[in-house]
């Protein structure tokens, strides 16, 4: 189990994280969300042992994670960290990068393991390509495979699919998170993308103003967002008194209702339209199956 115990940390005088406390069981997936600059990457770096802690402690099982003051080389065998920078060897091939740390004395096993992970990150066509010729998203996939090659017990991922195009993203996400579950590898994922969270994370942690403001399953947090900031992570929402926070899809346009609004604009949204409307001098958003004309009067219901 990963146990982050009452960690407070800042780079100079400004506090970045305050009284951070949480646990991740073996094989579980924890997602961390928060605005840009809220300290997600900093938290991953602390878990990895990149900085010395003055306040608080971090443990993986019984081992305390210690910073550079105590460790000549940062990091531990049981934990891997995929940063936003990747840190690959540019003039060697994809398979050489992934297999780099595997023993040369067992060439067949090395090849088998490298091939297995190339498949997990869907890079079969690029196995023999030098990393310098890859795109950002392909490099990101090499970095993920390399982190997994020696079967860590816990993986730290910072925006793991941010450079990957939408064509590949969904299948890659499923493949990587399934691999982690199948192999009982715990993971902590810092992300801006709700699709990294819904459907994959066992727990979700929200950081705001240096503190954890919410910690629960993604489903419970999604169904009951406590603040507009949390709701905004999941999609378009409204604050309508006395109902509170309601997502755009929870408003339904009907023929008659005592809730009336005037359409400002319709945005094409794929399988629906997002209707921007004026309700009691406030802008609200409603998901609707059709485009609506500007200035049209509409009635709506709220279904919670
Ligand atoms: N090495 C550093 N020295 C000083 N300040 C830093 C350092 N790294 C990060 N910071 C500051 O700490 C705060 C948190 O940064 P961090 O990168 O952890 O945020 P984040 O939530 O990961 O952001 P993003 O989502 O944009 O990646 C920011 O205000 C940032 O400017």
* Domains of the chain, CATH where assigned: 2-223 (3.40.50.300), 236-302 (2.40.50.140)
Asked if 282 and 251 touch (Cβ cutoff 8 Å), the reply is: no
Q: Which atom of ligand 1 is nearest to the CA of 84?
A: 27
Strand positions, DSSP E, the chain:
2-10, 15-24, 29-33, 55-60, 63-64, 79-82, 154-158, 186-190, 203-208, 211-216, 237-240, 244-247, 251-254, 259-268, 273-279, 282-288, 297-302
Q: Which atom of ligand 1 is nearest to the CA of 41?
A: 22
Asked if 297 and 260 touch (Cβ cutoff 8 Å), the reply is: yes
Kindly report the protein residue whose alpha carbon is nearest to atom 24 of ligand 1.
36
pLDDT tens digits in sequence order for the chain, 304 residues long: 999 999 999 998 889 999 999 999 999 999 999 999 999 999 999 999 999 999 999 999 999 999 999 988 888 999 999 998 888 999 999 999 999 888 888 889 999 999 999 999 999 999 999 999 999 899 999 999 999 999 999 999 999 998 888 888 899 999 999 999 999 999 999 999 999 999 999 999 999 999 999 999 999 999 999 999 999 999 999 999 899 999 999 999 999 999 999 999 999 999 999 999 999 999 999 999 999 999 999 999 998 7
pLDDT at res. 285: 97
The whole-angstrom separation of Cα 300 and Cα 277 is 11
Q: How far is CA 14 from the centre of its chain?
A: 25
Asked if 86 and 143 touch (Cβ cutoff 8 Å), the reply is: yes
Q: What are phi and psi of 249, to 5 degrees?
A: -80, -10
Q: Which of 33, 41, 193, 208 gets mutated to test ligand 1 (max ligand atoms within 8 A of its CB)? A: 41
Ligand 1: distance of its center to the CA of 33 in Å? Answer: 14
The binding-site residues of ligand 1, defined as CB within 6 angstroms of any ligand atom, are 11, 16, 34, 36-42, 190
Asked if 32 and 80 touch (Cβ cutoff 8 Å), the reply is: no
Asked if 50 and 222 touch (Cβ cutoff 8 Å), the reply is: no
Tokens of 234: 């999941």
Q: Which of 16, 156, 212 gets mutated to test ligand 1 (max ligand atoms within 8 A of its CB)? A: 16
Tell me if residue 120 falls in helix, strand or coil: helix
pLDDT at res. 248: 97
Q: What are phi and psi of 2, to 5 degrees?
A: -85, 130
Kindly report the protein residue whose alpha carbon is nearest to atom 29 of ligand 1.
37
Q: What is the pTM of this model?
A: 0.93
Ligand 1: distance of its center to the CA of 97 in Å? Answer: 28
The whole-angstrom separation of Cα 265 and Cα 52 is 52
Kindly report the protein residue whose alpha carbon is nearest to atom 10 of ligand 1.
11
Ligand 1: distance of its center to the CA of 40 in Å? Answer: 8
Asked if 66 and 51 touch (Cβ cutoff 8 Å), the reply is: no
Length of the chain: 304
The helices-and-strands tally (H runs, E runs) of the chain is 8, 17
pLDDT at res. 34: 95
pLDDT at res. 265: 97
């Amino acid at each position: 189990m990963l146990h982050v115990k009452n960690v407070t940390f800042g780079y100079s005088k400004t506090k970045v994280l305050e009284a951070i406390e949480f646990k991740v069981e073996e094989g579980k997936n924890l997602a961390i969300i928060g605005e840009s600059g809220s300290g997600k990457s900093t938290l991953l770096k602390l878990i990895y042992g990149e900085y010395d802690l003055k306040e608080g402690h971090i443990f993986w099982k019984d081992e305390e994670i210690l910073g550079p003051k105590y460790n000549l080389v940062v990091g531990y065998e049981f934990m891997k960290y995929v940063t936003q920078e990747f840190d690959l060897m540019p003039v060697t091939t994809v398979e050489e990068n992934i297999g780099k740390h595997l023993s040369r004395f067992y060439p067949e096993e090395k090849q088998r393991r490298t091939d297995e992970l190339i498949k997990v990150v869907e890079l079969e066509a690029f196995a023999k390509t030098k990393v310098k010729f890859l795109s950002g998203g392909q490099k990101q996939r090499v970095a993920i495979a390399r982190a997994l090659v020696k079967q860590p017990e816990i993986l730290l991922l910072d925006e793991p699919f941010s450079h990957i195009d939408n064509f590949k993203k969904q299948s890659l996400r499923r493949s990587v998170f399934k691999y982690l579950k199948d192999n009982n590898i715990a993971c902590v994922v810092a992300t801006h993308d709700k699709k990294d969270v819904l459907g994959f994370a066992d727990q979700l942690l929200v950081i705001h103003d240096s503190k954890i403001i919410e910690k629960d399953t993604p489903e419970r947090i999604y169904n009951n967002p406590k603040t507009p900031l949390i709701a905004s992570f999941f999609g378009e929402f409204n604050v309508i008194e006395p109902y509170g926070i309601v997502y755009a899809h929870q408003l339904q346009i009907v023929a008659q209702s005592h809730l009336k609004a005037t359409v400002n604009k319709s945005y094409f949204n794929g399988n629906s339209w997002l209707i921007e409307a004026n309700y009691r001098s406030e802008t609200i958003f409603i998901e609707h199956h059709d485009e609506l004309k500007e200035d049209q009067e509409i009635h709506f219901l709220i279904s919670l």
